[in-house]
Amino acid sequence: MTITKKLDGDTLTVSVDGWLDTMTSPQFHDEVQELSGAKNVVLDLGGVAYISSAGLRETVALFRRVSAQGGSFSVRRVAPGVLDVFTLTGFDRKFEIRTD
């Protein structure tokens, strides 16, 4: 899994490429510890074809940290299977999720 971060003003875009599963979620956890002073976070999952509960937990944890500091959190370019995971667990009602 590769993770790239791009800071644009007070918004950090985190792009993930690969599977967000039990084995890779610790790496994701480490990478998003440092938000480079950004207030808002956009999580670009365009390269993620698969997410399991471990990946979902890390995503939700990131959302809570951003919300706690008063910023906005959204998930972009979500694949169909990954979208199922967000909608069936009800997280699509907590933060913005877009397929584009």
Partner 1 sequence: MKRTGTLIHKTYRNLLVSTLAMTASMYLSSIVDGILVGQILGTMELSAINLTYSISFLKSIPIAMFTFGGNTLAVMYKGKRDNPRADIVYSISFWAGILSSVVIAVIGIALTAPTASLLGQKNAELESLISLYLIPLWVLTPLTALNNHTAAFARTDGLKKLATALPIVSNVINLICDWLYMAVFGWGIAGAGWATVTGYLLGSLLVIGYFRSKQRTVRFTRAAWKRLRDMGKILSTGLPSALIYVCNFLRLYLTNAIILSATGTAGTKIASVSFSLNSLCFIFIEGATMTLLPVLGALYGERDIRGQKLALRYGMWVTVGLSVIILILSELFPLPLAAMYGLTDSALTEVFAVTFRIMSINIPILAVIYVMRTFFQATKQKWLANILVVLDGFATVVPLMYVLAKIDIYWLWASFPISKAVTVLITVVIVVIYKNVRHKDNYLLIEGEEGPVLDFSIHNNVEEATDAAHKTVAFCEKQGVEKNLAHNIGVAVEELCVNSARYAAKSQSDSIDVYVKVSPQAVVLRLRDNGNIFNPTEYVDDTGREVTGLKLVRSLTSSIEYNRVIGFNVTVVSVNR
Could you list the residues that contact partner 1 (CB under 8 A)?
Answer: 19, 21-24, 49-54, 56-57, 60, 79-85, 88-89
Nearest distance, CB of residue 69 and partner 1, angstroms: 20
Q: Tell the residue number behind the tokens 């959302």, with chain if given.
A: 63
Nearest distance, CB of residue 89 and partner 1, angstroms: 6
Report the residue number, 3 or 56, with the smaller CB distance to partner 1.
56
Q: Tell the residue number behind the tokens 């890779």, with chain if given.
A: 24
Report the residue number, 3 or 54, with the smaller CB distance to partner 1.
54
Report the residue number, 42 or 85, with the smaller CB distance to partner 1.
85
CA 36/CA 12 separation, integer angstroms? 8
29-51 burial code (b ≥16 CB/10 A, e <16) = eebbeebeebebbbbbbebbeeb
Nearest distance, CB of residue 36 and partner 1, angstroms: 26
